[in-house]
Amino acid sequence: MRYSLFTLAKNALGGNTAWQPQWRDAEPRGGYDVVVVGGGGHGLATAYYLAKEYGFTNVAVLEKSFIGSGNVGRNTTIVRSNYLLPGNIPFYELAMKLWEGLERDFNYNAMVSQRGVLNLFHSDVQRDAYARRGNAMRLHGVDAELLDRDAVRKLYPFLDFENARFPIQGGLLQPRGGTVRHDAVAWGYARGASARGVDICQNCEVTGFRIEQGRVRGVETTKGFVGAKKVAVAVAGSSSRVMRMAGMRLPIESHILQAMVSEGLKPFIPGVITFGAGHFYISQSDKGGLVFGGDIDGYNSYAQRGNLPVIEDVCEGGMALMPAIGRARILRHWGGLVDMSMDGSPIMDATPVEGLYLNAGWNYGGFKATPASGLCFAHLVATGTPHAAAAAFRLDRFATGHLVDEKGAGAQPNLH
């Protein structure tokens, strides 16, 4: 389905009955060059770039539910590349550049809005840490501006600058950061992949791998055996469950991350703001709802729902930062299943099983990585060698000691 003023007018006059589905809802065939397990943002992006950049069109995406039903449809839509470590910055900056050209690339409106991401600091030491981060970003060619208190006040006069415990001293701004319409990212990639011949198979759960002499031959699914020369797994919070079927134990714990949306309000928060003295981040959707979240709950969970203490903690952070939102009511809240890795950074690598590739460990920040994750994973699967921007995300780095630990928290996922 393609869109134009003409199709819009035609369908408006025709009672909107002639719109076609945006992608083909396929049934799995017997065999493929590549089977992508997981129809989330990363899996669909991988299939899209496999077809578009690497010429693999005999590809299937197997999704146990409907596409975009997991984390790509339940995040806070923020994109940014304000990282510190050399292994991370080039990768997330690649993602940022892909976001900037994404709508033109897949010809679909993903509402990419570079409204700026501002991280506030509340003490001298925190300012120094943010200055260091900003310098690291600029050395890698990423935009970063250290704002003093007056500059922040000019941007966001409604913040509580005089808070007795955590007065705002300034912030680190990445002007190119912002938000993207998350569902449209899944739909756009699905449409682009499908148009290039990729089979998108929904309600098709992978129940096992067929591995012969150390090489993957395909996957068993609820719709029968699907043969594959290569299998690429991108299943986020279900990574441990899926890879266990291939006999692997991963450096990953599945946790719960909650987010909330308020009732719709008139526009008053133009960008993305994060509180530096607690964990609270907020933006306002184009529909008017305040979209906000904070820490993960801190215990293993597959329940896709969280508990009230974290909601209370998040809301306390919000009230300390911007008391003006205190009267807004929370309209809905939800929990996502996040794959917390042991150093807070992702894993994108070949596995000991030949032809089986893993893309996992995105912690609470997988959405912003979606385009680069898809491109780099497609590169890895197509060529067998890691993409230069994702070369640090090795599976064996935990054994060799080459960790990429932004926070220095160690193998304690609930502290990342």
Cα–Cα distance for residue pair 219/225, rounded to 1 Å: 6
Name the segment binding other proteins (CB under 8 A); options: 60-68, 223-231, 303-311, 372-380.
Answer: 303-311
Nearest to 246 by CA among 276, 206, 277: 206
Cβ 318 vs Cβ 280: under 8 Å: yes
For the record, the structure tokens of 254 come out as 């599945």
- Name residues contacting other proteins, limited to 305-324 (CB under 8 A): 307-309, 312
263 binds other proteins (CB under 8 A): no
Q: Which residue, 145 or 406, has its beta carbon nearer to other proteins?
A: 406
Question: Which H or E run contains 7?
Answer: helix 5-13
Which listed residue (171, 276, 346, 413) binds other proteins by CB under 8 A? 413
Residues 160 and 169: beta-carbon distance below 8 Å: no
Locate the DSSP E strands across 269-389: 272-275, 280-284, 289-300, 330-341, 347-350, 356-360
Does the footprint of other proteins cover residue 170 (CB under 8 A)? no
- Residue 299 binds other proteins (CB under 8 A): yes
* Angle between the N-to-C axes of helices 370-383 and 89-106, in degrees from 0 to 180, rounded to the nearest 10: 100
Instruction: With contacts defined by CB under 8 A, name the span among 3-11, 98-106, 116-124, 405-413 that binds other proteins.
Output: 405-413
Which of 81, 82, 301, 345: binder of other proteins (CB under 8 A)?
301
Return the residue of 31, 175, 278, 298 that touches other proteins, per CB under 8 A. Answer: 298
The residue among 84 and 411 lying less far from other proteins, judged by its C-beta, is 411
Site for other proteins in 370-389 (CB under 8 A): none
Task: Pick from 197, 302, 332, 408 the residue near other proteins by CB under 8 A.
Answer: 302
Residue among 142, 86, 362, 119 nearest 234 (CA): 362
Instruction: Assess 295 for contact with other proteins (CB under 8 A).
Output: no
* Total residues at interface with other proteins (CB under 8 A): 25
**Which neighbouring-strand residues pair with 179?**
78, 113
Q: What is the C-alpha to C-alpha distance for residues 363 and 72, in angstroms, rounded to an integer?
A: 13
Nearer to other proteins, 143 or 339 (CB): 339
Give dist(CA 253, CA 22) in Å, integer: 35
Q: Rule CB under 8 A: is residue 249 a binding residue for other proteins?
A: yes
In the chain, what is the straight-line distance between the N-terminal and C-terminal CA atoms, in Å?
42
Half-sphere exposure of 10 (CA within 13 A, CB side): 9
Tracing tokens 């990585």 back to the chain, one arrives at: 369
Nearer to other proteins, 11 or 307 (CB): 307
Q: Which residues are CB-neighbours of 382 under 8 A, at least 6 positions away?
A: 50, 54, 56
The nearest distance, CB 320 to other proteins, in angstroms, is 18
Sole window of 20-28, 30-38, 95-103, 300-308 interacting with other proteins (rule: CB under 8 A): 300-308
> Per CB under 8 A, does 334 bind other proteins?
no
What angle is formed at CA 318 by the lines to CA 317 and CA 324, rounded to 5 degrees? 145
Kindly indicate which of the ranges 16-24, 122-130, 183-191, 406-414 contains the residues binding other proteins, using the contact rule CB under 8 A. 406-414
> Diameter of the chain by CA atoms?
66
User: Within positions 86 to 115, which residues make up the interface with other proteins, using CB under 8 A?
Assistant: none
Q: Binder to other proteins among 211, 250, 269, 392 (CB under 8 A)?
A: 250
**45 or 342: CB nearest other proteins:** 342
Kindly report the number of other CB atoms within 10 A of residue 403's CB atom. 18
Query: Binding other proteins by CB under 8 A: which of 160, 398, 405, 406?
Result: 398
CB 116, CB 152: distance < 8 Å: no
CB of 120 to other proteins, least distance (A): 25
Nearer Cβ to other proteins (240/363): 240
Applying CB under 8 A, which part among 42-50, 142-150, 169-177, 251-259 lies near other proteins?
A: 251-259
- Tokens 């959405």 sit on residue: 367
Q: Does 240 bind other proteins (CB under 8 A)?
A: yes
Q: Tell which residue, 333, 356, 167, 172, has the closest CA to residue 257.
A: 333
- Which residue number, 132 or 241, has a Cβ lying nearer to other proteins? 241
Stretch binding other proteins (CB under 8 A), from 32-40, 178-186, 299-307, 377-385: 299-307
Nearer to other proteins among residue 65 and residue 109 (C-beta): 65
Interacting residue ranges for other proteins, rule: CB under 8 A = 240-241, 249-254, 298-303, 307-309, 312, 342, 398-399, 411-414
